[in-house]
């Protein structure tokens, strides 16, 4: 096969997965650069930011907008769902590829096009769109208001194309999981990583529709002078908000679920312990998914909706914290009675729980409508969603890459460098966002390029907090170099990885590292669930691979050999 | 706790702060408990050679209860939070107490226009006082603010009141407040409204009745100080 | 090296063929797209009495003809599927082309409608009702044309006796396009 057949136009799920991964990482570097620039401006207003220059208000809004947009749509989703989903699902369910490999390739091509359009939008006159990732009209609908006549529609088209790419990708994931499982892999024998990615895809497919309709309407308002969202023309600006958040809230669970899937699998392997309450997890996730469709207006409490509606959404929002809390309890319970090895993947998995708990509980303040009156559009919200999104996107990514690196690339990453990178990421992360909680409590509002303009916010103690956050960000960014070095050094001269370095039960570890095209010469058969660790009937081995012929202890007829 | 950073200057600011505190303490207990148990398990169940793991499916009743009981407790505490939230929300957003005075607020890219009733105490008459980026009110008087936008979405926010309301073009949205102390503080626009979003700070001047009346008389286009005197009784 | 269908594609842990599963999921996402658009329309319509007056200017006869045309073409695609099941490929291709022809008539009637409406001043920018009308029927028309194109591609395979199972798949899609129209027709043409 030529290079282009093998790497550019491949239909192999592993290659396509890596294409998504590297594109996503590249986009994350751009999104990360943007946040570096605007945080420098916030901490040191008017500064000539190294490697950028001075930040104008126009540029600031665009940096903030595209940081958020890129991190969610061009980093979190492609890496967690498209990259790991593509690489892992066929391997974990024991088949040779996705069921529609050519549609898979098409979905990446559309995704790549969307990324190119978005990047192109930064170079047109007046630059990229600056109306926030939420793109509320009328600001987003008229160039006269947003000052980015080309950037705004290009941003919108890029986002719409990304949605199409993920709809196509989702078809593959869902259909493959439903139909292409190895013989013997019944519903409750599917690893959590696969379940979570597929449920996320279903959530995405069921929630993005109204926003696609809305995006068409907004694009027409922007380019054809229709008035869907223009009050003066007979339209309604609030309609966009409902369409956006009807998708926007399920979207956060779309990205959360895959990360939780990776954490579950890593914890079971590294604690040598059966996942606690597999079915409880599944049902909690289903409940969360369904509830996620009826909480959206908590983003709009003070937006001008009927105030009576707010009470309904406070109730549903607080309700949704219950299954999520349950998931956290169940994961913690998995540790009980285990035998935990604290290697790099496990550190990341545990840190996900530690940090996500902060994000989760701070959401309660915002879901309580009375308190949200004060906190809406402040940095308290920013800190809350970074305490959820960073665990999801960044910790989730590192969970996946450090755990599955041996399988994907056939080499073992250096664990010491891995731990240095881990601490150098987690510690600064907290020093970025705890100051932002405090600034939010002080009433500091969002999307403001210079707090010197506000007497009550221009106080030295607040600037100190901004500086701490910014310096911590720079430290955190610098430590990512450790990961980069580890990654590249390992690829070049790392130790060759065995098939199953973690002694894991799941099917991907029975293939070669890395797996060839087609994954196995003979596709495996499954005999039990993925989490049979530490079973008392196997004194010689603390794990029981799924494809090893033999009984299934979860089977009601199973006869234990213990007295 | 918010009051450590921002003063309270409205009748409901304290309620919002107290709601925050209540949620904080409830949530803090759960958070600390969860983290503590997590860290404890990490320590207690670290790998020790020769110690086997336990085989627990989590389906058995005596294990499940460790999840179910916290699950129902969370629901129980949620009830308090909901009640607190709804009560505060109702007070600030669902009800509109009878106003002593009404003020017009017009947001636009990128400035605030405030229309204060003049000495006659009635809005939209000839003696109204129009200001840019400064709002003048009296303490202990119930105000309605009627908010409009000329162009895009804006949001009227006064941190010391703990008040915030998005303003939608094409509508007139009414909010209310009653200031409880004098002073001068920030007004913010809290909905991104273009490149000048950070360039429309305003200030609220809360004054005593006497000082405010002086300001009205001095600034009204057709001044006659009498009608206002009857309203300024606390 | 040409593409080889992986083993995964022909597995069926659920018992339902993979292609049929896939098209139902595609329809699920399309339902939410059109559903979202229609919900917006309904919300606006219920809040704006003027919309009823604007809707008076859509052409219910043209709409009715199109409804009949689409329903008939759906019948043809069912017959095409039956023929494909019986391996009667020539008959199947013929019926597929009748379906495509139905789509073509539909688009012609739409073209006539749009032309008449635009020349009478009922453009997309006249009011938000008309913006919705053109967006909804336009999006639907785009799906009709996409369906026609895919049917053409499938008919080429069927003629060679290949991929006969895909006739059912495009049939399911076509029924969906039909169903969307069944919702749009009363909302845009009948409710005045």
Q: Is residue C186 part of a domain?
A: yes
CA distance C79 to chain A (A): 27
Residue recorded with tokens 């022809």:
C101
**pLDDT above 90 for B227:** no
Q: Which residue of C has its CA nearest to A103?
A: C22
Interchain pair B94, A308: CB under 8 A: yes
Structural domain includes residue C1: no
Distance, CA of B169 to chain centre:
21
Contact call for B52 and A457, based on CB within 8 A: no
Which residue reads 């939410």 in tokens? Answer: C32
- CB-based burial, B107-131: b 16+ in 10 Å, e otherwise: bbbbbbbbbbbbbbbebeeebbbee
Question: Does residue A563 have a pLDDT over 60?
Answer: no
**In chain C, which residue's Cα lies nearest the Cα of A172?**
C22
Residues 146-185 of B with CB under 8 A from A: 151-153, 155, 157, 159, 162-171, 173, 185
The answer to whether residues A520 and A496 touch, using CB atoms and an 8 Å cutoff, is: no
Chain A residues in contact with B86 by the CB 8 A cut-off are: 311, 314, 369-370
Whole-number Å distance between alpha carbons of A8 and C172:
33
Q: Is pLDDT of A435 > 70? A: yes
Report the relative pairing of strands B129-132 and B142-149 from DSSP bridges: unpaired
Residue C8 lies in a domain: no
Contacts of C188 (CB under 8 A, 6+ apart): C55, C58, C63, C133, C136, C137
Burial class (CB in 10 A: 0-12, 13-18, 19+), A169: buried
What is the pLDDT, as a whole number, of residue B221?
A: 86
* E-strand stretches of A361-448: 411-412
**Using CA atoms, how far apart are residues C125 and C64, in angstroms rounded to an integer?**
25
CB B198 within 8 A of CB A61: no
Contact at CB, B56 and A339, closer than 8 angstroms? no
Task: Provide DSSP, A320-375.
Answer: HHHHHHHHHHHHHHHHTT--B---HHHHHHHHHHHHHHHHHHHHHHHHSHHHHHHH
Specify the pLDDT at position B222. Answer: 67
CA B178 to CA B142: how far, in whole Å? 5
Cβ–Cβ below 8 Å for A542 and B191: no
Show residues of chain B in contact with A377, CB under 8 Å: 155, 157, 164, 190-191
Nearest residue to A58 via CA among A121, A147, A135, A142? A147
pLDDT in tens, C17-29: 999 999 999 999 9
Pick from A137, A373, A375 the residue to mutate for testing the B interface (most B CBs within 10 Å): A373
| Total beta-carbon pairs less than 8 A apart between chain A and chain C | 136
pLDDT confidence of residue B230: 44
Of B1, B86, B198, the CB nearest to A453: B198
Instruction: DSSP letter for A211, please.
Output: H
B131 within 8 A of B167, measured Cβ to Cβ = no
Provide mean pLDDT across the span A182-204: 97
Which strands make up the sheet holding B134-138, listed edge to edge?
B134-138, B202-207, B183-189, B154-158, B163-167
Contact A99 C29 (CB under 8 A): no
pLDDT tens, A29-71?
999 999 999 999 999 999 999 999 999 999 999 999 999 999 9
For A446-490, write each residue's pLDDT tens digit: 999 999 999 999 999 999 999 999 999 999 999 999 999 999 999
Q: How large a percentage of chain A has pLDDT more than 90?
A: 96
Q: According to the model, what pLDDT value does residue B1 have?
A: 87
Residues 6+ apart with CB under 8 A from C127: A227, A233, A234, C50, C54
Q: What is the pLDDT of residues A273-284, one digit of tens each?
A: 999 999 999 999
In a domain, C5, yes or no: no
Give me the count of residues in chain A. Answer: 563
Cis before A138 (ω within 30): yes
Please write the tens of the pLDDT for every residue from B186-215. 999 999 999 999 999 999 999 999 999 999
CA A367 to chain CA centroid, Å, is 22
How far apart, in whole angstroms, are the C-alpha atoms of residue A143 and residue A153? Answer: 10
Task: Give the pairing type, strands B163-167 and B134-138.
Answer: unpaired
pLDDT at A266: 98
Instruction: Find the CB nearest A354 among B35, B52, B203.
Output: B35
Q: Does C16 touch chain A (CB under 8 A)?
A: yes
| C43 domain residue, yes or no | yes
Q: Can you tell me the distance from the alpha carbon of B173 to that of B96, in angstroms, rounded to the nearest whole number? A: 12
CA B73 to chain centre: 29
Measured at the CA of C105, the angle between CA C104 and CA C107, to 5 degrees, comes to 65
Chains B and C touch (3+ CB pairs under 8 A): no
Residue C25 located in a structural domain: yes
Q: Is A89 exposed, middle or buried (0-12, 13-18, 19+ CB in 10 A)?
A: buried
CB contact under 8 A, A369 and B51: no
Task: State the smallest CA–CA distance between residue C188 and chain A in angstroms.
Answer: 17
Token readout for A407 is: 């399988």
Residue A318 in contact with residue A369, Cβ under 8 Å?
no
Nearest to A310 by CA among B144, B17, B93: B93
CB within 8 Å of chain A, chain B residues 70-99: 70-71, 74-75, 78, 81-82, 84-90, 92-94
Q: Is the pLDDT of residue A372 over 50?
A: yes
C4 contact A CB<8A: no
Q: Is residue C9 part of a domain?
A: no
Around C182, how many Cα atoms within 13 Å sit in the side-chain half-sphere? 10
Q: What is the CATH number of the domain that holds C57?
A: 1.20.120.80
Comparing CB atoms, the residue among C7, C39, C43 nearest residue A523 is C7
Does B152 sit within 8 Å of A138, measured CB to CB? yes
Task: For B103, list phi and psi in degrees, rounded to 5.
Answer: -120, 140
Task: Compare all CA atoms of chain B with the CA of A361 and give the residue at the minimum distance.
Answer: B27
Using an 8 Å Cβ cutoff, are A235 and A263 in contact? no
CB within 8 Å: A226 and C3: no
Please give the pLDDT value at position A127: 95
Among C36, C134, C143, the residue to mutate for chain A (most A Cβ within 10 A): C36
Counting the structural domains of chain C, the total is: 1
pLDDT digits over A198-239, tens only? 999 999 999 999 999 999 999 999 999 999 999 999 899 999
Taking CB atoms and an 8 Å limit, are B67 and A370 in contact across chains?
A: no
Task: Count Cβ atoms within 10 A of the Cβ of residue A118 and give its class: 0-12 exposed, 13-18 middle, 19 or more buried.
Answer: buried
Rounded mean pLDDT for each run of 10 residues along chain C, 192 residues in total: 86 94 95 95 90 90 96 96 94 96 97 95 92 95 97 95 94 97 94 78
Instruction: Assess if residue C41 is contained within a domain.
Output: yes
pLDDT at residue A210 in the model: 95
Q: Is the pLDDT of residue B233 over 50?
A: no
Whether B234 has a pLDDT exceeding 50, the answer reads no
Q: Which residues pair with B156 in a beta bridge?
A: B165, B189
pLDDT per residue over B100-147, tens digit each? 999 999 999 999 999 999 999 999 999 999 999 999 999 999 999 999
Mean pLDDT to the nearest integer, A120-142: 97
Q: Choose among A139, A329, A368: nearest Cβ to B70.
A: A329
Which structural domain range is residue C64 located in? 15-190
CA atoms within 13 A on the CB side of A221: 33
Q: pLDDT for A306-324, tens place per residue?
A: 999 999 999 999 999 999 9
């Amino acid at each position: 096969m030529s290079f282009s057949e093998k790497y550019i136009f491949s239909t192999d799920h592993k290659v396509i997965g890596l294409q998504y991964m590297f594109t996503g990482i590249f986009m994350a570097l751009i999104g990360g650069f943007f946040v570096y620039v605007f945080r420098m401006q916030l901490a040191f207003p008017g500064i000539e930011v190294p490697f950028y220059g001075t930040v104008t208000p126009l540029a600031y809004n665009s940096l903030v907008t595209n940081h958020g947009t890129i991190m969610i749509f061009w980093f979190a989703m492609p890496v967690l769902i498209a990259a790991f989903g593509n690489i892992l699902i066929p391997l974990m369910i024991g088949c040779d590829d996705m069921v529609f490999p050519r549609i898979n390739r098409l979905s990446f091509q559309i995704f790549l096009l969307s990324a190119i359009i978005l990047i192109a939008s930064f170079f047109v006159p007046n630059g990229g769109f600056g109306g926030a990732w939420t793109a509320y009209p009328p600001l987003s609908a008229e160039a006269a208001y947003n000052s980015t006549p080309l950037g705004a529609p290009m941003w919108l088209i890029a986002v719409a194309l990304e949605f199409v790419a993920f709809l196509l990708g989702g078809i593959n994931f869902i259909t493959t999981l439903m139909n292409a499982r190895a013989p013997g892999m019944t519903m409750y024998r599917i690893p959590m990583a696969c379940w979570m990615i597929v449920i996320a895809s279903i959530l995405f497919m069921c929630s993005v529709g109204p926003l696609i309709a809305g995006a068409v309407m907004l694009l027409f308002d922007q380019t054809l002078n229709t008035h869907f969202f223009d009050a003066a023309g007979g339209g309604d600006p609030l309609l966009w908000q409902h369409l956006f958040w009807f998708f926007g809230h399920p979207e956060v669970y779309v990205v959360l679920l895959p990360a939780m899937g990776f954490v579950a699998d890593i914890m079971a392997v590294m604690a040598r312990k059966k996942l606690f309450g597999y079915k409880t997890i599944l049902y909690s996730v289903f409940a969360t998914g369904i509830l996620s469709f009826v909480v959206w207006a908590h983003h709009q409490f003070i937006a001008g909706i009927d105030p009576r509606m707010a009470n309904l959404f406070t109730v549903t929002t607080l309700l949704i914290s219950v299954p999520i809390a349950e998931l956290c309890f169940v994961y913690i319970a998995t540790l009980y009675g285990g035998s935990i090895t604290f290697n790099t993947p496990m550190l990341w998995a545990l840190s996900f729980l530690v940090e996500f708990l902060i994000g989760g509980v701070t959401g309660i303040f915002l879901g309580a409508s009375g308190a949200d009156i004060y906190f809406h559009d402040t940095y308290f919200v920013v800190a809350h969603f970074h305490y959820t999104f960073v665990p999801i996107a960044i910790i989730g990514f590192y969970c996946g890459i450090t755990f599955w690196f041996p399988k994907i690339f056939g080499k073992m990453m250096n664990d010491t460098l891995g731990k240095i990178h881990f601490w150098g990421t987690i510690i600064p992360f907290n020093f970025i966002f705890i100051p932002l909680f405090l600034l939010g409590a002080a009433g500091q509002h969002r999307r403001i390029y210079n707090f010197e303009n506000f007497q009550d916010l221009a106080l030295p103690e607040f600037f100190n907090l901004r500086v701490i956050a910014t310096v911590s960000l720079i430290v955190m960014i610098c430590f990512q170099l450790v990961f980069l070095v580890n990654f590249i050094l390992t690829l070049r001269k790392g130790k060759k990885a065995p098939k199953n370095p973690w002694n894991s039960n799941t099917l991907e570890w029975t293939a070669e590292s890395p797996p060839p095209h087609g994954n196995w010469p003979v596709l495996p058969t499954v005999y039990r669930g993925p989490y049979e660790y530490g079973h008392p009937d196997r004194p010689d081995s603390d794990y029981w691979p799924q494809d090893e012929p033999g009984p299934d202890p979860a089977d009601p007829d199973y006869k234990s050999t213990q007295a | 706790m918010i009051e450590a950073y921002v003063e309270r200057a409205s009748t409901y600011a304290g309620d919002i702060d107290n709601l925050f505190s209540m949620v904080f303490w409830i949530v803090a207990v759960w958070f600390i408990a969860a983290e503590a148990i997590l860290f404890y398990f990490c320590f207690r169940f670290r790998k020790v050679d020769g110690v086997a793991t336990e085989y627990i499916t989590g389906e058995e009743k005596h294990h499940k209860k460790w999840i179910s009981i916290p699950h129902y407790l969370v629901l129980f505490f949620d009830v308090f939070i909901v009640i607190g939230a709804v009560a505060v929300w109702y007070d600030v957003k669902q009800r509109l107490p009878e106003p002593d005075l009404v003020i017009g607020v017009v947001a636009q890219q990128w400035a605030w226009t405030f229309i204060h009733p003049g000495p006659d105490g009635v809005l939209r008459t000839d003696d109204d006082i129009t200001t840019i980026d400064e709002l003048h009110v009296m303490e202990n008087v119930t105000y309605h603010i009627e908010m409009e936008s000329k162009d895009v979405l804006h949001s009227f926010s006064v941190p010391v009141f703990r008040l915030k309301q998005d303003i939608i073009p094409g509508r007139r949205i009414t909010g209310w407040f009653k200031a409880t102390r004098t002073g001068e503080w920030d007004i913010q626009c809290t909905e991104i409204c273009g490149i000048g979003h950070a360039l429309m700070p305003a200030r609220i001047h809360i004054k005593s009745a006497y000082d405010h009346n002086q300001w009205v008389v001095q600034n009204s286009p057709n001044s006659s100080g009498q009608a206002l005197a009857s309203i300024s009784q606390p | 090296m040409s593409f080889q269908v992986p083993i995964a594609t022909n597995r069926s842990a659920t018992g339902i063929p993979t292609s049929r599963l896939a098209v139902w999921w595609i329809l699920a996402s399309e339902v939410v797209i059109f559903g979202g658009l229609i919900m917006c329309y309904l919300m606006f319509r219920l809040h704006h009495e003027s919309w009823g007056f604007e809707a008076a200017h859509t052409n219910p006869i043209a709409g009715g003809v199109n409804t009949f045309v689409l329903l008939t073409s759906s019948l043809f695609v069912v017959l095409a599927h039956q023929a494909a099941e019986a391996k009667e490929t020539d008959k199947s291709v013929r019926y597929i082309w009748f379906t495509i022809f139905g789509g073509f008539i539909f688009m012609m009637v739409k073209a006539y409608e749009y032309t008449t409406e635009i020349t009478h001043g009922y453009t997309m920018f006249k009011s938000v009702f008309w913006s919705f009308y053109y967006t909804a029927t336009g999006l639907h028309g785009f799906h009709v044309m996409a369906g026609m194109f895919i049917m053409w591609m499938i008919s080429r395979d069927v003629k060679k006796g290949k991929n006969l199972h895909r006739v059912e798949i495009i049939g399911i899609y076509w029924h969906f396009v039909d169903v969307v129209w069944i919702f749009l027709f009363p909302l845009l043409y009948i409710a005045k």
